[in-house]
Structure 1
């Protein structure tokens, strides 16, 4: 038996990874029970626990390493070189090799404070060959249509093993078949070889269970997602088990991409072979980066690894350079982008504009809050990096000069290298204020509607954005409005929504009425308009679309619902797509 220090180091790291995977799997597998029982609050807690789990297990493993090995050995890069080789052999038979490599990387970075990032000592490049033999585990179940789409949908729902009975399976499958008849390409609908294929794994999130796969036929394919939910306002069956209904049928790539959006909470889904599951999902959503899909199924740390590798490859192509982000410059963050990578980088400035009463530590906690919270499809996911190092000629000179000026404690030059001590990355979007200046009237009406919907849906999830300026929201390629500036975000229940006293007049904010005091958490919805819109016509249209946002009682009602323990539904598809009328 190999007992060298390097081998024992590798074995100790693998022990820590296995402990992480065991706990991760236990939380994930319990999602079926939580859905079956309608334990929605418990589901939220499980989601947070699973996000926190990774860092907890890394911290535990680091402590174990420090107890087991001397500091001299732990900080010797050549020992890690040998340990990397042993570790690659130890994990070779596993079905989650890529996740195990990321865990090794996390421990290396914890020991070396995110320095010495070299493939010799950690897995900058995966040891798993792209052409590696497939596991042989069957990912999907498949059924030919044989001219009966309703029967095929019944097979799809019954085979998911959701345990709860459906309230009216015949109605659900009839509505689903009618929708497919209306929306499927004719070549698939009429094809003799038409078939439905679904992943064995069920994707749980919030109050939904999602069956994911595709419809094929006539040499074509479209993605397929079947969202299943508890019956609304219906009695339970005789055993006290909530009944289910099919909520809609989704087959467009954009609809499916929104289900797997970077702005949503991670799915609770048990997958035997993560990279094969991600590969399948990429065939359904070719524009989705692998990193986003790993994050979507819960492996957000490996999603970060995939993102980092893809970014390095993109930077190496030298198609463009890092530039200052278009739009209004932030008061707290310095923001730059690599356009070809569709990625935004955010750095906390050394000093903030006087209007911002926050500290760097508060800003970091706000970003952590959003990471742990249900983002309800309206808040961008972030990745956090330390000691991010790039050659200085990858920067536009104006951009680099700006970063060195506003964040000298975070951005430094070491020879020809730019070292960024700490930064966040997000998916690049078009700032809402810029989008409104460029879009036509029809798109403007749609995006103003979605802007208000975004604010309402965040509020329903107990999130108040704080600063609702247009520049703090972005627009995705699907036209969805996403919030991405978190330095003033807070829980809705922490806010004190107030009406302006009638006797205060227009000068209350300037102190014209000494008897009217304003607390730090006081918010006056009547005053939102001027802060949100400089354009009076856009404000008029927005107020027509969302008049309740300017009413104190609306916000107070949401707060009361949250305090009462209600979990307000936020659907990842439009209400007009739901079978809700037939399901009630």
Structure 2
């Protein structure tokens, strides 16, 4: 029996999606082996491969469509209407139906260049929006505490699918139990039915493995995350310790939210039912947007779908207009916001300020670099949109006027529609320069400390931000400092850190001349460049004197060149267990 072109179109797309999912699952499933063997470089490569995989499989499937079907078939919207209906039926019983819908959308947008965005022809809204059903798969394992918190934590660790042994499990669980008994609500501690519930899957990222779930009892629940690490030096030096340890116990919603932050690399975690998995995570982090949770477990393209749907819902309320983002206007990007949506929209200007010696192509490549790289909790994740269409009356007049002036090749007014041919989105933050103008003296000290830590942690991940001005960093609702301006970002190992030659008058001692190459950087000159305010500069230099020493940067460079993978943990050092049994550092 010969099937209609629309049906074959749907099955061809689904075949491409199956290829994508099969390889995605292979890479993810191998995370446990990489953790067991401390294959840290391979871990970084696998993370980048999995990010690149989506576009690779879209391109392969697109080529297959163009080879298999006549142009009038693939370019006919009515054919896609039929194909959408067939596809919705084909995926109706799948556990990953929403990811399959996003894959279909990506092919439609590739064919029609992000035009004709209508629910008739693609999945602007999910085919199961009103008819979602539960899979019946139990995602979790559970154990009643019965007053013995140490035994419950032992169960959590020993029953997890780790192949390495725990070096000091009695000590680790004693420390964890002590922490829980000191910090959990009394109603939970006193309830005979209190239980620990953990997702069956282990979350792997960088050098860490995380057990994620919650504690339920006394009519309350708190999230629970148990980070597990290898011994010092394992995988990087002879004699490193292959055994495991419990690094800390996390039970605060904000702490767990930071672990799943939009500023970090995506987890490698096996997910049987994506929708139900994300629903569970959202119970632990109710303020975390759904799209960010999908992205955090590797489904960043579907995270973009959820972001788009959430934006459509917010715009439809007509409660406010897009406005120019607060803060200093950028030299490369024009930035606007919908204030209540917690997202900024960034458009590359047609012409850059003279101080910026980059091109449009270079800027896009910098954003791709950050997307692929480990963001170590210090660089904002981005989503990229093309041919984004919004009604003119959704923009404040001065905002639209500004966009049309600085980016006329990207922002076009057609009738009552604004067409934005290309833009990036990032999570909204308070620009660091504005935060410093409004905060207390104590908050200044804390945020400057974190500003320096952000620079150090990016450097440890082989990233140099280039432009370290305060306006290029933001402060999250958790008070963390995040870098978000990527047009000058580069690998740390590409930089040439130099001492300033000593001079007498206009002459440099020893006959030196100050010849400066494009990658030359003089850390001793950072101070005045970063801070016009001398009081802030002095405070920062007292907190982070090493940042102004070229030797610090050269030593860090050498460590990276030598193959050392420097991890940055998503919780504070003072929260980590340390010292002898019975002693806690948090």
Deviations 1:34-85 (A, max 9, x none): 0000000000000000000000000000000001001111100000000000
Structure 1 unmatched ranges of 5 or more: none
Q: Distance in 1 between matches of 2:344 and 2:532?
A: 26
Q: Distance in 2 between matches of 1:248 and 1:506?
A: 56
Structure 2 residue 410 is the aligned partner of structure 1 residue 410: yes
Q: Distance in 1 between matches of 2:10 and 2:107?
A: 11
The residue aligned with 1:564 is 562
The residue aligned with 1:356 is 356
The residue aligned with 2:206 is 206
Structure 2 residue 289 is the aligned partner of structure 1 residue 283: no
Q: Is the 8 A contact 1:384 1:423 kept in 2?
A: yes
The residue aligned with 2:257 is 257
Match of 2:13, SS state, is: helix
| Mean Cα deviation higher: 226-235 or 159-168 | 226-235
Task: State the 1:581 CA deviation.
Answer: 3.8
Deviations 1:121-162 (A, max 9, x none): 000000013452200000111111001000000000011111
The residue aligned with 1:267 is 267
Deviations 1:388-432 (A, max 9, x none): 000000000000000000000000011000000000000000000
**Alignment root-mean-square deviation, CA:** 1.7
Q: Distance in 1 between matches of 2:144 and 2:44?
A: 37
The residue aligned with 2:574 is 576
Task: State the 1:527 CA deviation.
Answer: 0.6
The residue aligned with 1:124 is 124
Task: State the 1:109 CA deviation.
Answer: 0.3
Q: Distance in 2 between matches of 1:515 and 1:444?
A: 39
> How many positions carry a matched residue from both structures?
578
Task: State the 1:516 CA deviation.
Answer: 1.7
The residue aligned with 1:531 is 529
The residue aligned with 2:145 is 145
Structure 2 unmatched ranges of 5 or more: none
Deviations 1:287-315 (A, max 9, x none): 00110000000000000000000000000
Q: Distance in 1 between matches of 2:327 and 2:546?
A: 29
Structure 2 residue 510 is the aligned partner of structure 1 residue 476: no
The residue aligned with 1:112 is 112
Q: Is the 8 A contact 1:389 1:417 kept in 2?
A: yes
Structure 2 residue 416 is the aligned partner of structure 1 residue 419: no
Match of 1:167, SS state, is: coil
Q: Is the 8 A contact 2:141 2:197 kept in 1?
A: yes
Deviations 1:307-341 (A, max 9, x none): 00000000011111100000000000000011111
| Mean Cα deviation higher: 184-193 or 51-60 | 184-193
Match of 2:271, SS state, is: coil
Q: Is the 8 A contact 2:233 2:240 kept in 1?
A: no
Task: State the 1:580 CA deviation.
Answer: 3.9
Q: Distance in 1 between matches of 2:22 and 2:205?
A: 20
Structure 2 residue 133 is the aligned partner of structure 1 residue 133: yes
Q: Distance in 1 between matches of 2:505 and 2:322?
A: 49
Q: Distance in 1 between matches of 2:185 and 2:505?
A: 60
Structure 2 residue 440 is the aligned partner of structure 1 residue 440: yes
Q: Distance in 2 between matches of 1:103 and 1:263?
A: 24
Q: Is the 8 A contact 2:231 2:241 kept in 1?
A: no
Q: Is the 8 A contact 1:504 1:516 kept in 2?
A: no
Task: State the 1:216 CA deviation.
Answer: 1.1
Match of 1:209, SS state, is: strand
Q: Distance in 2 between matches of 1:507 and 1:523?
A: 20
Match of 1:93, SS state, is: coil
Q: Is the 8 A contact 2:37 2:235 kept in 1?
A: no
Task: State the 1:515 CA deviation.
Answer: 2.6
Q: Is the 8 A contact 2:232 2:240 kept in 1?
A: no
Q: Distance in 2 between matches of 1:2 and 1:580?
A: 68
Q: What TM-score results when the alignment is normalised by the length of structure 1?
A: 0.97
The residue aligned with 2:292 is 292
Label 1:2 to 1:92 Cα distance change in 2 as closer, same or farther (>3 A): farther
The residue aligned with 1:490 is 490
Label 1:352 to 1:178 Cα distance change in 2 as closer, same or farther (>3 A): same
Matches within 5 A, 1:492-511: 492-503=492-503
Structure 2 residue 176 is the aligned partner of structure 1 residue 182: no
Task: State the 1:242 CA deviation.
Answer: 1.1
Structure 2 residue 225 is the aligned partner of structure 1 residue 229: no
Runs of 4+ in 1 over 3 A off after TM superposition: 233-236, 504-508, 580-584
Q: Is the 8 A contact 1:338 1:344 kept in 2?
A: yes
Task: State the 1:235 CA deviation.
Answer: 11
Task: State the 1:184 CA deviation.
Answer: 1.3
The residue aligned with 1:31 is 31
Structure 2 residue 398 is the aligned partner of structure 1 residue 398: yes
The residue aligned with 2:372 is 372
Deviations 1:247-297 (A, max 9, x none): 000000110000000000000000100000000000000000110000000
Match of 1:193, SS state, is: coil
| Mean Cα deviation higher: 370-379 or 313-322 | 313-322
Deviations 1:369-401 (A, max 9, x none): 000000000000000000000000000000000
Matches within 5 A, 1:333-348: 333-348=333-348
Q: Distance in 1 between matches of 2:541 and 2:130?
A: 53
The residue aligned with 2:330 is 330
Structure 2 residue 42 is the aligned partner of structure 1 residue 42: yes
Label 1:136 to 1:539 Cα distance change in 2 as closer, same or farther (>3 A): same
Which of 542, 545, 553 is matched with 2:543 structurally? Answer: 545
Q: Distance in 2 between matches of 1:292 and 1:430?
A: 19
Match of 1:212, SS state, is: strand
Q: Is the 8 A contact 1:319 1:340 kept in 2?
A: no
Task: State the 1:569 CA deviation.
Answer: 2.0
Matches within 5 A, 1:78-97: 78-97=78-97
Q: Distance in 1 between matches of 2:180 and 2:234?
A: 26
Deviations 1:169-202 (A, max 9, x none): 1011001001111221222122222110000011
Q: Distance in 2 between matches of 1:160 and 1:50?
A: 25
The residue aligned with 1:519 is 517
| Mean Cα deviation higher: 305-314 or 188-197 | 188-197
